Amino acid sequence: MSMIPLVGSERPARDGAEDVGAAEPKERFVVSVLLRRRSANVLTARVARLREGDRSEEPMTREAFADAFGADSADAGVVEAFARQSGLDVLSQDLPRRTVRLSGTAPKFNAAFAISLRRFDHPSGAYRGHLGPVSLPSELADLVEAVLGLDDRPQAEPHFRIRKAKPPGASQAAATSFTPVQIARLYGFPEGDGAGECIGLIELGGGYAQADLAAYFAGVGLGAGPPVLAVSVDEAANSPTGTANGPDGEVTLDIEVAGCVAPSARLAVYFAPNTDAGFIDAVTAAVHDTTNRPSVISISWGGPESAWTAQARNAMDSAFQAGAAMGVSVTVASGDNGASDGVAGGANHVDFPASSPHALACGGTSLHASGGVITREEVWNNGAGGGAGGGGVSTAFPLPPWQTGLSAVSGKGKSQALTRRGVPDVAADADPETGYQVRVDGADAVFGGTSAVAPLWAGLIALINAERGAPVGYINPLIYAHPTALNDITQGNNGGFNAAKGWDACTGLGSPQGAALAAALAE
């Protein structure tokens, strides 16, 4: 049988990992196979018009999108036949999401995709990976865009920071904190409660306790708070670990921030495994969800672009493009490790999926206020080990039209015109020293990180959608067309880039002037 390498499926071992032998031969695991779209060129042209700011076409319904651009059942049939011939079980087929899920053992997947699955030891935990690219038989080569889940290393990390207690005798004067309700007021969010909207939250582990949410929302004066629904993806579930400084912190932070901003919106929390397959399956589940129908999706997880395979990046970006066509906005945290994004070597890196041009990348500021008014706002950068807002220039995605003519100012003060996608687009308070009051695992704490910014912006978009009576959808071109509806942040740096007048690679266009932005987008 002729086997053809799947472009972009290569994945080197993690730095510091040791190959300790063949993958466990009896362990069964699940792989997601992503199929090509029907009429892909038509969708590409439609999204290109949206990138240019053309709003003449109404957003498609999820049902209409599935009919026009889902996978072809014949393609799915070819993949399923191949799987059975290879001794793999077909668990599910989802044509709108273009996904066929296969179950089997390492030897069966090795033979099916001409790979060598191995076990790797790493200081942060063992994982399964493969040597060389995934290969496909010739009859599948034109049908399959990605094979995800063969490698089960953690794909992303949550982007939050918990304020650390200061040692005895240290000054406490600089630290303050706000409820998300107070932050929304400081940013002038429009009146309203998001009734009729659904906000989707993507989570890759952990969970929430209903008792925490009930106590928290009552404590900030919101009564019972919003209805919260846990949605299982790839057999994951709401599973609190009892550790705030872990995924529970992320899950609960997202719910409490979004719920404070839009307390009558429904919150659908999509739980998935922290793998490339799980992450992408969670996003496609939310984008194509015909039950909950979120109009905005918030993502507070990510990792350096270089930590993703090209096939996985393309699959995620394709899911965001589908969302754009259906009027679904996507907000994504830009990371908490400054311009390096936590990658050793001294080079600048941006975080993905924030760097997708079809997502609204959310950076971080340090917010200071007095008497209910913002007195100072600058780039969040607490120095080595303290966290800083992620931002920079993508190496994977081209320059979107709404960033044409913009420049990034390096830490040395040199201005260079953008030639590729710049990150972030917008910002808001992310400094744990001026952070968000939350309740996680039965205890009160103060959180920061760009993880708080993505659900804050998602809540704002839900308010705007409810006020408009229609989704704003792919919001990036609209925001760049109304820069005066944001607070321009001109002070500070993120370790690789400086703040500057207008867009910069630390805080994008700035933090929201909520009511002004709502008015600008009311057209």
Active site residues: 250, 254, 451
CB atoms within 10 A of CB 137: 18
Token pair of 391 as six digits: 């931002």
Distance CA 274, CA 425 (A): 26
Helix/strand/coil for 423: strand
Distance CA 344, CA 337 (A): 11
Q: Taking each helix axis as running N to C, give the angle between helix 62-69 and helix 40-51, from 0 to 180 degrees, rounded to the nearest 10.
A: 130
**Pairing verdict, β 176-178 and 434-440:** parallel
- CB 358, CB 473: distance < 8 Å: no
Provide the 8-state DSSP code for 462: H
Distance CA 295, CA 326 (A): 9
Q: What distances in angstroms separate CA 250 from CA 126, 160, 441, 446, 449, one per listed residue?
A: 23, 7, 11, 12, 10
What are the residues whose beta carbons fall under 8 Å from the beta carbon of 417, sequence distance 6 or more? 405, 406, 407
What are the residues whose beta carbons fall under 8 Å from the beta carbon of 28, sequence distance 6 or more? 103, 104, 105
Q: Which residues pair with 493 in a beta bridge?
A: 498
DSSP string, 5-69: E-TT---PPPTT-EEEEEPPSS-EEEEEEEEPPTTHHHHHHHHHHHHTT---SPPPPHHHHHHHH
